[in-house]
Amino acid sequence: MSNLYNNQPDKDHDPQSNTPPLPDFDRDPDDDTSLETGVRTSEADAADLHHFLNRQRSSTETDQPTDADFDYKSSPAEADFSHFSLEPLEDETPPKAEESRWQTAWSIVREVGETIILTLIIFFLIQTVVRNFRVVGTSMVNNLHDGQYLIIDKVSYNPLLTKYLGMGGPQRGDVIVFEPPNNPNEDYVKRIIGLPGEEVNVINGQVFINGVKLDEPFEPVPGTYTMPSPIVVPPGDVFVLGDNRNNSNDSHNWGPLPIGNIVGRAWVSYWPPDQWGTIPRDIPSEDATLKHFVGQFIPSASANNE
């Protein structure tokens, strides 16, 4: 390539190279003899340079998108993003909100219903099998006291259990809770003294069964009264007395008690704590050990004394 100003070959330019030589800026500025020739040559050189740059650009930007590949819009809202797509993963699809709410509500309702049903079943079983009872009055002193709490066994005297399972039924010495014939709206607590078919009599506070003095190891408070005449206990009845004989409204006042009126047998004393213990059922005669046991553990029972 010739020099830009003097149109002379460039000493440092390699004729075999495709790169155009740089202009010679060492020419004397006062030398304008070849200015016109230099101008024409510079136009040719500029054309060659433009061609070279285009060729370089095409070699490096062949794979790059051109302006024609994009659809420019005046605002982002008008841009066309149709060639982009986002699809949710199948296993990450969120559950329907309405179904989730219904499932949660149903779960709560079911749990509450199950709790209520279970509570009612337990309550029914407890009320069927046992019952608590508060002693009121002093008719069972010295063994049960006013304000003492008992657990009542309601199944021991059940006719079906007595008949088919061989359970004992009412026995002499049992402390029972019952509805008295003369006052069915209240519950009394007394002790069974006479059984069906037996003749019961009280003379000067001493109890006689079929003419034989009854040994009472539970140590009642002795009475002083005498019954007008002996009473034969009818079938299906029992004869009951309070342990505090002179201060008890019992069978010596209103007669034998129908077994059907019995609510249950006093089983355990649970309050106050110092009177906690079980209550023995029967009265073996001349049993000093049982006498001590009964005196120590039988808690005061509710006894109406009128």
Which CATH number covers residue 235? 2.10.109.10
Determine contact, residues 282/176, Cβ cutoff 8 Å.
no
Element (H, E) at 188: strand 188-194
pLDDT of the residue at 190: 96
pLDDT of residue 238: 97
Residues 6 or more apart whose Cβ sits within 8 Å of residue 41: 2, 4, 7
158 and 262 housed in the same domain: yes
Return d(Cα 158, Cα 13) in angstroms, integer.
Answer: 130
Assigned token pair, 62: 């062949």
| Predicted pLDDT of residue 122 | 81
Decide: helix, strand or coil at residue 120: helix
Task: Decide if 111 is inside a domain.
Answer: no
User: Are 33 and 157 members of one domain?
Assistant: no
Tell me what pLDDT residue 1 has: 44
Domain stop point among 57, 74, 96: 57
Q: What are phi and psi of 229, to 5 degrees?
A: -160, 160
Structural domain contains residue 68: no
Same domain, 43 and 138: no
Would you say the C-alpha torsion 212, 215, 220, 221 has a positive or negative sign?
positive
- 38 and 137 co-located in one domain: no
Q: Where is the domain boundary, 57, 86, 105?
A: 57
> Does residue 200 sit in the same domain as residue 291?
yes
Residue 43 is assigned to a structural domain of this protein = yes
Based on the fold, state whether residues 276 and 148 are members of the same structural domain. Answer: yes
Q: Examine the domain organization and report whether 166 and 290 are in the same domain.
A: yes
Query: Which of 42, 57, 72 represents a domain boundary (last residue)?
Result: 57
What pLDDT, on a 0 to 100 scale, did the predictor assign at position 155?
A: 83
In this predicted structure, what is the pLDDT of residue 185? 87
142 and 226: one domain?
Answer: yes
Out of 17, 73, 100, 139, the active site residue is 139
Q: Is residue 120 part of a domain?
A: no
Domain count, the chain: 2
Regions in the chain scoring below 50 on pLDDT: 1-8, 11, 25, 33, 35-36, 39, 72, 284-303, 306
Whether 237 and 154 map to the same domain: the answer is: yes
Dihedral (C-alpha) 13, 19, 21, 22: value to the nearest 10 degrees? Answer: -130
**93 occurs within a structural domain:** no
- Report in angstroms the alpha-carbon separations of 226 from 57, 207, 237, 250, 280: 137, 9, 21, 14, 28
The secondary structure of residue 61, as a DSSP letter, is S
pLDDT of residue 161: 67
Active site residue 139: yes
The answer to whether residue 105 is domain-embedded is no
The pTM (predicted TM-score) of the whole model is 0.56
d(CA 42, CA 36): 10
Cα distance between residue 246 and residue 179, in whole Å: 21
How many angstroms separate the Cα of 289 from the Cα of each of 172, 175, 221?
A: 18, 19, 19
**pLDDT at residue 20, rounded to an integer:** 54
In a domain, 108, yes or no: no
Look up the domain containing 191 and give its range. Answer: 132-297
- Catalytic residue from among 190, 251, 269, 300: 190
Whether 190 is catalytic: yes
Mean pLDDT, all residues of the chain? 74
Contact 20, 48 (CB under 8 A): yes
Does residue 305 form part of some domain? Answer: no
